[in-house]
Amino acid sequence: MWDIDFNRLRDVFVYDPQAPMIFSSGIFLWLFAAFILVYLLLQHRLTARLLFVTAFSYYFYYKSSGTYFFLLALVTVSDFFIARFMAGTSVGWKRKASVVLSLAINLGLLAYFKYTNFLGDVFASLLGGTFHHYDIFLPVGISFFTFQSLSYTIDVYRKDITPLTNLLDYAFYVSFFPQLVAGPIVRARDFIPQIRRPLFVSHEMFGRGIFLIASGLFKKAIISDYISVNFVERIFDNPTLYSGVENLMGVYGYALQIYCDFSGYSDMAIGIALLLGFHFNKNFDSPYKSASITEFWRRWHISLSSWLKDYLYISLGGNRKGKIRQYANLVITMFLGGLWHGASWNFVVWGLFHGIALAAHKFWMTLTGRKKGEESHGIRRFFGILITFHFVCFCWIFFRNADFSTSLDMIKQICTTFRPQLFPQLIAGYWEVFVLMALGFFLHFCPDRWENACCKTVTRLPLMGKAVLMLALIYLVIQMKSTEIQPFIYFQF
């Protein structure tokens, strides 16, 4: 006899601020399995399928941020009608006023929810007063969907795309759940043409989707989460309690953790989109293989870096107004890019370091006469990768620490109390962590053809083999998240 605990069941389906839903959540796997069944039943009913996916996307956002899904609706409706108005007028000042209104709405929301307390502290310190922080909840993914919607209105203003005439299509584009809360930032010009195409998922798309979900899950839920909880957090929370070699290994661990976290989630988003018949552009391309900081930003969080380039750097003048202005534009762009990551001075410092490094690299390219995009080879590339990787790791120290003094403490420990003789003891004490770190860096630096070969192997599996792999993944996640969802169905004899 089945006894269903409806209170437990209700708790599973309502928003829990202590456990917001993400792709690696056990509850998501169950919901996604049910979602796929309905999605396939609606494959020949376009409007019903768009409505269903949009509704599920809003529910997904509700499970991630609670009632703040109304912000998503506000941005969607306002930018849809702003773009329609721009398309219907040829008066220059009206078009400019419209795009300014879109900027004000999107950036205004972002500024209030993300930067109110930070800016209050800044003004209070400048005026010599005190500022009492407001209790403001930061909705998950607000930075992503505001930037995505902004790219649409700016593209309409620039006449790069024709605005949509159907609000449902635009709501589908902005809210599409695979990329909603953590990117990648999907451009309207890339995604909108796919919305009303007949649903088609080829064997290659299905296989690649399974591969990306598997690799993303491994990076996010196994490597990133494990080394973070069991090693990296301990080092960064109290760097002065550890030797320099432990701090350095903690920095290397964080470099791998943040890459596996960001890229793993992006891989899962791209893979899920493929299973639904949609294509997203690649968002991470083995960034630690970069031989220069410029190359790093062509490989790291590609959707964000390209957004900053197209809508901020170029809008500031890019490289069209002389070298000095170009260097200043790079620094300003990365300063704002750092602030986009979070309302804290550590993100500002991180962005400034990268901006200065990009400007310095452009200056070096000018001095040496090297052409844009020209890659180094051999021993020169090896040292370029080594230097770039350690510069990025140095910057991660400021990105990860909440205050400047802790970052300086960590650097001081590395430079003054290194104690390399403790390394064997460190390995023995954290051997599981270092095995995962070694595996993670090995997989990251292995040739691209190896990854392509693994992807093709999964793609060539028969349908049953892919299904078994998917079921194995679901089982793995449920086992890893077994404490996240308590059973709500009990059996009585």
Tens digits of residue pLDDT in 125-152: 777 777 788 888 888 888 888 999 999 9
Give me the catalytic one of 132, 341, 361, 377.
341
Q: How far is residue 440's CA from residue 226's CA, in Å, rounded to a whole number?
A: 12
The whole-number pLDDT of residue 6 equals: 58
- DSSP assignment of 89-133, as one string? ---HHHHHHHHHHHHHHHHHHHIIIIIHHHHHHHHHHHHT---PP
The whole-number pLDDT of residue 99 equals: 92
The whole-number pLDDT of residue 246 equals: 94
Distances (CA, A) of 303 to 60, 183, 187: 22, 8, 9
- How many CB atoms lie under 10 A from the CB of residue 402? 13
Q: Is 279 a catalytic residue?
A: no
Backbone angles phi, psi at 69, to 5 degrees: -65, -15
Closest CA to 134 of 156, 150, 145, 118: 118
Regions in the chain scoring below 70 on pLDDT:
1-12, 17, 19, 24-26, 372-374, 466-467, 469-493
The whole-number pLDDT of residue 33 equals: 82
The whole-number pLDDT of residue 8 equals: 64
The whole-number pLDDT of residue 468 equals: 73
Closest CA to 486 of 148, 8, 150, 107: 8
For residue 6, the one-letter residue type is F
The whole-number pLDDT of residue 475 equals: 64
Contact in structure between 284 and 212 (CB atoms under 8 Å): no
The alpha carbons of the chain give a radius of gyration, in whole angstroms, of 24
